[in-house]
Structure 1
Amino acid sequence: MDQSITKEIKNGVATLTLNRPEVFNSFNREMAFLLQDELDACEKDDAVRAIILTGNGKAFCAGQDIGEITNPDLNPGFKKILDDHYNPIINRIRAIEKPIVCGVNGVAAGAGANIALACDVVIASDRASFIQAFSKIGLVPDSAGTFFLPRLIGFGKASAIMMLGDKISAEKAEQMGMIYSVVASETLMEEVNLKALTLANMPTKALGLTKRLLNQSMNNNLEEQLKLESKLQIESASTEDYAEGVAAFVEKRKPVFKGK
């Protein structure tokens, strides 16, 4: 049985751990498909209200397994790697209307860095780093790096980082707005679990609609975005969580949200 991704569900939070530490959690074909399957399962499971994505060992993810693409018998070719592996992973991360917290435990390079940056909340260990490693071997950034990174840190910095292939420390990544926060390595998963549990206990239907708004804001003009905000605000106002939130406010008690 393929154990390249492990999953644990606890208190409404599903933790997906990249589990090929011997190759710094780099992706081969089986691992890419398994992550897609696990994300699909999390999306369909009503018991899962938030998702954690992290890595086992010293690295978060070193991107593509070079051993696979240099082996003529295993190499699926770049078209299949992108069309079948990474693009579907990025699309799933953005389309799942549940919050996804990424706990970057170590180096995140190439596609590994860009998968992390596609998540909703990115928390990194002080031992982590981010590398747009593509230029070092004559490739262009993929896995939506050229989409998200300029929007996170600005066009100029993104251009320089991608062309130079600089290693960006977690502290620097936080300072430039690439990630949400950096914490001591010893407390990374404690902090990540705390944030994920907090999100899981919030009105997750509204969080999912917020995620949809943020996705659409990448392409909408102001008028289109205002119309969508109005539509989804009306939808969120019809949820059980909204009714519970208002009732709890009036009754001066802590709300109990159910994600409905």
Structure 2
Amino acid sequence: MEAPSIVWALDGTVAVVRLNRPDRLNALTAEMLDLWRATLGEAVAAGARAVLVTGEGRAFCAGADLAATAAAMAQRDLSDSLRDHYNPLTRAYAELPVPVVTAINGAAAGAGAAFALAGDIVVAARSSYLLLAFANIGLVPDAGATWLIGKAAGRAKLLEMALLGERLSAEDALAAGLVTRVVDDAALFDTALGLARKLAAMPTVAMGLIRKQVAVALTGSLDELLEVEADHQALAASTQDFREGVAAFLQKRAPVFTGH
């Protein structure tokens, strides 16, 4: 029986999610995208307080499986594939109530670059790279890549990546503000897992609210953001974790957050 294209397991309260088509450099199919999205929901339902996403083998994700995409295009409009499979995964990332860490091993190309950058904390192996390869085959960026890169790195870097279709090294991605950290290849997984464990031990409700608040900050007005901050602060202040945080501060001890 063929191995599933997405595999995952709990490491304490961290869900470690692996793209699992290493023979195809984890290239994306519709079924894989749907399974990825379902896995994120399943992981949270199972009690994950943070998610770590990485790729099996030599690459994070080479983008769409062109053989599968070509076959699909013979049957339907390519926009249907985006609306039915890619975009729902992008939205699932945005709507998760827990933080996501990405560990980029090797290539993150096309939509694979978008999903790599959809993480909240992005750790890149020194040998890894980002590549918006769409223009090289006559397509345009998708899966939210234009938004993610434009918001993080600005117009000039976005146009350079999208129009020229050249590799962006991990170090250059760090300089552009696209990734959080660059580490030696051998240290990638342990570094990313350590960060995910730290996030999982933090006040989970506040983590989820911060994710949503940042999205508003990137798209809304100051007045809209101020209202969201006020609403979110009320929600955060009603949690057990807030009470524990205050008690730990007053008692001069480390807090023990439960995610509630």
The bucket for the TM-score relative to the shorter chain is over 0.9
- Contact 2:25–2:58 at 8 Å: present in 1 too? yes
In structure 2, what is the Cα distance between the partners aligned to 1:256 and 1:76? 52
2:232 counterpart residue number: 232
Sort the Cα spacing of 1:180 and 1:234 in 2 relative to 1 into closer, same or farther, 3 A: same
Which aligned runs of 4 or more in structure 1 are off by greater than 4 angstroms? 72-77
Question: Aligned equivalents of 2:102 and 2:189: distance in 1?
Answer: 10
Residue segments in structure 2 that go unaligned for 5+ positions in a row: none
Relative to structure 1, is the Cα distance of residues 73 and 141 closer, same or farther in structure 2, using a 3 angstrom cutoff? closer
Deviation at 1:75? 5.8
CA shift, 1:80, in A, is 2.7
* Residue equivalent to 1:155: 155
Residue 26 of structure 1 aligns with which residue? 27
In 2, Cα distance between the equivalents of 1:74 and 1:106? 31
State the match for 2:112 in structure 1.
Answer: 112
- Structure-2 residue corresponding to 1:145: 145
Q: Which residue of structure 2 aligns with residue 37 of structure 1?
A: 38
The reply to whether residue 211 of structure 1 matches residue 216 of structure 2 is no
- The 1-side partners of 2:39 and 2:76 are apart by 22
Looking at structure 1, the residues matched to 147 and 23 of structure 2 have their Cα atoms a distance apart, in angstroms, of 30
2:128 and 2:169 in contact (8 A); partners too? yes
Q: Which amino acid aligns with 1:56?
A: E
Q: What's the TM-score, normalizing by structure 1? A: 0.96
Identity %: 38
TM score, norm. by length of structure 2: 0.96
> Hey, what does 1:220 align to over in structure 2?
220
The residue aligned with 1:201 is 201
Q: Does structure 2 retain, via aligned residues, the 8 Å contact 1:69–1:77?
A: no
Alignment RMSD? 1.4
| Residues 254 and 148 of structure 1: CA distance in aligned 2, closer, same or farther (over 3 Å) | same
**Residue aligning to 1:188:** 188
Letter of the 2:85 counterpart: H
Distance in 1 (CA, whole Å) between partners of 2:76 and 2:178 is 32
Q: Secondary structure of the residue that 2:230 maps to in structure 1?
A: helix
Q: Secondary structure at the match of 2:124?
A: strand
Any unmatched runs of 5+ in structure 1? none
